[in-house]
Amino acid sequence: MGALIITESCFGNTTALADAIGQALADSGSMAVQAIAVKDAPETIPDDTELLILAAPTHDYSLPRERTRTRARRRGGLLAGDTGLREWIAAVQPAANVKVVTVDTAFKAGFMPSTAAKTAARLMGRAGFNHVRRGATFGVSDYAGPLDDGELIRARAWAATLAAGLRSLTRAPGR
């Protein structure tokens, strides 16, 4: 089984999160993991990919847009290019059998009507992916971060649970 993690990150927090998730998946021993920035993501999912994880920061209760990326740049964000997960999802070719899980980072200052993970999951379903699940939201302490204390540990534990669940789904019947 292969896992592909595609990340959009403005301040490095979502990349750190994706790296922790990728390491935990690789440590599970059940899959090869590749993590890449959205600017390098292929529009056709590689054939050996069974799990696709999309990771993005929450901007204005959703996936980043051009205007929110511009705002992040003005606040010191180091964005590589103008393409984010929202644009990538609009261009990707659907892969019906790939399991998709979305995760995000968010600064929780109160009630959050939506997050990047929720928006990404909805858009992936509309794009033709059949097995889409919204994953966890991981907290950042401010607009630019850093990640809240313990979030990388929680991300590794979440990924280990995800890997265990995938292994049980891929076992042969009767085992």
The C-alpha torsion from 115 through 73 and 79 to 124, rounded to 10°, is 20
Indicate whether 175 belongs to any domain: no
Indicate whether 72 belongs to any domain: yes
Range of the domain at 143: 2-170
Per-residue pLDDT tens, the chain, 175 aa: give them.
Answer: 699 999 999 999 999 999 999 999 999 987 899 999 999 999 999 999 999 999 999 999 999 999 999 899 899 888 756 789 999 999 999 998 999 999 999 987 776 788 999 999 999 999 999 999 999 999 999 989 999 999 999 999 999 999 988 765 443 344 3
Domain count within the chain? 1
User: Which of these, 129, 17, 123, 11, lies nearest to 76 by C-alpha position?
Assistant: 11
Indicate whether 75 belongs to any domain: yes
CATH number at residue 37: 3.40.50.360
Indicate whether 130 belongs to any domain: yes
pTM of the model: 0.92
Indicate whether 122 belongs to any domain: yes
Q: Longest Cα pair distance anywhere in the chain, in angstroms?
A: 57
Indicate whether 107 belongs to any domain: yes
Indicate whether 55 belongs to any domain: yes
Indicate whether 28 belongs to any domain: yes
